Amino acid sequence: MAPERTKSAGAPRTRTEKVHHALRSAIIDQRLAPGSRLPEDAIGESFGTSRTIAREALGRLAVEGLVDLIPNRGAFVANPSLEDGRGIFTVRRALERAMVLDLVGKIDATIAARLRDMVAQEAALAARNDAEAIRLAGEFHLTLAQMTGNPLLLRYVTETVSRCSLVLAMYGRPHSADCGAREHSAIVEALIAGDAEGAAALMDQHLAEVASRALLSSRVEKDIREVLAAYAKDIDIG
């Protein structure tokens, strides 16, 4: 059974978006192992849609760095090295420092309540599996990027969060998700207080801590149809 998910304002609507979202979740949830082949026909069969839709979804995932498209071979789940991961986190730390500095002064009572509610949900689910914790943590950062109102910043943050999520799913060592929730809470309170440098320093420290959790872990490849069957039940392609 696919993990239970919280709904967001950016919920997928088109067929391509729905398949893209489901595939992304399967990759981040570690149900599709790094290096796994992603045949268009198998994806189309799993979701009851065309190979064209599958190809478009894979193209979006390739832009996000979650899928590698290899000429004459097909699509594969990306398989970043630890060195790749370090580079991705370096870029992400710079982007998100700029993000929180831009947000200071834009947090009204409504936004403050929304952010506090997100952190509370994350803390309440801290005891759940690591894949779910990674997904929820990523949503927090994407929400902050959306709140800047800067579409280019949102695009780059989305891409780096996706790539970091894959790195953590591959290499992240077990840790308490409650730590991440507490760090997010501290960032939110600094933003609400209008403490620009404090919020930026907390974000940088938070991402440094996240990056430090990377360690090698074993992988087991699974059949793509078996994995996607659970995710196909959660979406309506029609």
**Digit-coded pLDDT (tens) for 122-172:** 888 766 655 666 677 778 999 999 999 999 999 999 999 888 888 887 887
What was the pLDDT predicted at 132? 67
Any idea which fold 82-212 has?
Four Helix Bundle (Hemerythrin (Met), subunit A) (1.20.120)
Tokens representing 124? Answer: 């309440």
**Digit-coded pLDDT (tens) for 21-80:** 999 989 887 789 899 999 999 999 999 999 999 999 999 999 989 999 999 999 999 999
Name the pTM for this structure.
0.74
Please list the residue range(s) of the chain that carry CATH number 1.20.120.530: 82-212
What was the pLDDT predicted at 20? 94
Distance CA 192, CA 4 (A): 30
CATH number of 15-80+219-232: 1.10.10.10
The mean pLDDT value for 222-238 works out to 72
Please list the residue range(s) of the chain that carry CATH number 1.10.10.10: 15-80+219-232
The mean pLDDT value for 169-193 works out to 81
